[in-house]
Copies of this chain bind each other. A is one copy, B any other.
Amino acid sequence: METLVNNISIEKSSSSKIGSVDFDNLPFGSIYTDHMLVCEYVDGDWERPKIKPYANLSLDPASKIFHYGQSIFEGMKAYKDEDGQAWLFRPEDNHARLNISASRMAMPELPKEYFMEGLTALLQLEKDWIPTTEGSSLYIRPFMFASGVGFHASPADRYTFLICLAPSGPYFGGKVKVLIEEKFARAANGGVGYAKAGGNYAAQFYPTKLAVEKGYQQVIWTDDNTHEFIEEAGAMNIFVRINDTLLTAPTNDRILDGITRKSILELAKAEGIQTEVRKVKVSEVVDAAQNGSLKELFGAGTAAVVSPIAGFGYQGKDYELPELENSFAKRLKKRITDIQYNKVEDPFGWRFKV
């Protein structure tokens, strides 16, 4: 495997779409920049990554991505500080997780240099696309899928890795209400829930649609066996504040090892907030809501950042959460975004200069 040193071919787009974009009213993940990074895995090896104009992909209808869902992805963001310098947040952790997902989905691991140098070269070319409006950032989508062909249900012999960029506003608009799931489940024991595999997301669409029809934005998944324990929310990990203690479920083979989740845990400790990583019972959350000790619920994820939850539904009943002066969610969101946007020192070494 070759070690790249910024020797990535760049084919520039003849014109830019950037002038047509309203950076003050960005949707989430639906406007794409002028270029993308493409890297092909052929004959057991990764070819050199290339930067090309953003354009359609041409694929054989028998490509296994269409049939067997062999795909993985990552979610990242680039931030711009007041001096116009671009930053990433713990990008090497995204690379490491991409390869954990790849291994579980029987896909080839991507060398770290290909990921880091490809990402850096693409961001340097597209740095004007990083929004500076409050709450906006450049969402980064690295993804890999089976481009090899065949109807035999077995791993493909060709894969394509891409990075696409989307200047984006907030993932959620307005207040977030969640439904604690009692029937459907997101992941099996011994399954692929801990991998950022495409199929994990499509599987959530229908139960989430049912929840949306009832007035909730997201589902909080519970374990598939007893539905007694809180797992994660699909697009984010879940934190529960009971009195002044912050709880979250331990990661396991059903729960994504969220980078925002683990950063929030470290920040909370640094802030002197009591944290407990342990199994969280639904009944415990409901009891706490009833006796007034449930102070906050919030989600944490790259797309959603830190999303306070205004209320939850469970067994046909709705529970509202108080609006707090001293909210952990607000405090921790400020701490993490201040680091991400280079507004404060970064004692953790999380920030990465592009």
Contacts and interface: CB of A to CB of B under 8 A. Distances in A.
Contact of A225 (B29, B145, B187, B225): B225
Given A56-B58, A151-B30, A199 B189 contact: no
A197 B106 contact: no
A205 B205 CA distance: 23
Contacts of A62: 29-30, 32, 141, 164, 166
A318 to B, nearest CB: 22
Interface string A144-171: 0110011111110000001010101001
A153 B67 contact: no
B199 A197 contact: yes
Contact of A200 (B56, B69, B151, B152): B69
B59 A153 contact: no
Given A152-B30, A224-B224, A68 B185 contact: no
A345 B71 CA distance: 45
Contacts of A188: 185-189, 191, 224
Interface in A47-87: 54, 56-62, 65-71, 73, 75
A205 B105 contact: yes
A226 to B, nearest CB: 9
Contacts of A139: 151
B66 A191 contact: no
Interface in A251-272: none
A57 B54 contact: no
Nearest to A198: B69
Contact of A61 (B57, B71, B155, B203): B57
Nearest to A196: B67
A350 interface: no
A168 B151 CA distance: 10
A202 B69 CA distance: 6
A60 to B, nearest CB: 6
22 contacts: A29-B62, A30-B149, A32-B62, A56-B60, A56-B61, A57-B58, A61-B164, A66-B71, A66-B162, A68-B198, A68-B199, A69-B198, A69-B200, A69-B201, A153-B201, A154-B208, A185-B189, A188-B191, A189-B225, A190-B224, A198-B199, A224-B224
Given A67-B198, A105-B202, A153-B234, 17 more contacts: A29-B62, A29-B151, A32-B62, A54-B61, A57-B60, A62-B164, A69-B199, A106-B205, A151-B168, A153-B201, A154-B205, A184-B191, A186-B191, A187-B191, A188-B188, A192-B202, A192-B203
Interface of A: 28-30, 32, 36, 54, 56-62, 65-71, 73, 75, 103-106, 139, 141, 143, 145-146, 149-155, 162, 164, 166, 168, 171, 181, 183-192, 197-206, 208-209, 224-225, 234-235, 303
